[in-house]
Structure 1
């Protein structure tokens, strides 16, 4: 599975987990849709869930006039996924994570999602570079 596909499927699983009462394994199975699982996909889903509180804190810090629970569910899932990669996946350059998140926002978000995701992630990137 290509990494872009793994990200898309991870986004789908994380979105389902966030908006419904679905179990993690069930969301993973549904997102894979009978495709074979992938270590990167598994790392993304489980990594985001494991670090969700820290990721939400990172994201919330950069939401101007917004609360995390008020932003679109898909945007929140994209931000969590990208923030996880940026903060915890050391083998992936930060700019790659940002670009992939922007592509996800273009594909799955509304017209304003791309700019919103880019703005929040740019601020997170600055924090990461300063630490």
Structure 2
């Protein structure tokens, strides 16, 4: 394992958690425009209290990436959440799904790692059914993304 600062899985997990928390927060009060989205990230109390620059930077890049590709990510959620309208998916699960799908579709993070991290977020922040729901949707999306 590399000793480079910020390359440890725990630090990435913290950045991912930060991105999730801001995504969840803005789902309550959506921001518009890139400046508004950036401001929403920077003024989040969790971001303000984070001392590690890598965690903040990684979290910011994930959050802004999700916001940039939101329409495509929501399309993937709709396609793979059989019998669920996106408006009926709990905001916690939707934020986790968007984050994981962004990592799977638009970054070099391995799909399995993105799914595992999403399940960990679901265990921590969701209810008893969250991890199974998220895992099922992401597994289906992974097959579609691999086919492309």
Is the contact made by 2:74 and 2:98 (CA closer than 8 Å) also made in structure 1?
A: yes
- Per the alignment, residue 143 of structure 2 pairs with 126
CA deviations 1:9-68 (Å, max 9, x no partner) are: 100000111112464323443131332443211110100000000000011101111101
> Can you give the 5+ residue segments of structure 2 that lack an aligned partner in the other structure?
1-5
State the TM-score, normalizing by the size of structure 2: 0.82
Q: Which moved more, 1:74-83 or 1:34-43?
A: 34-43
> Can you give the 5+ residue segments of structure 1 that lack an aligned partner in the other structure?
none
Change (3 A) 1:12 1:121: same
Is the contact made by 1:44 and 1:81 (CA closer than 8 Å) also made in structure 2?
A: yes
Q: 1:35 aligns with which of 29, 34, 50?
A: 50
- Within 2, Cα distance between the matches of 1:105 and 1:28? 24
- Per the alignment, residue 20 of structure 1 pairs with 29
Aligned length: 130
SS in 2 for 1:66: coil
Q: Whose Rg is larger?
A: 2
After superposition, residues 59-98 of structure 1 pair within 5 angstroms as 59-90=77-108, 92-98=109-115
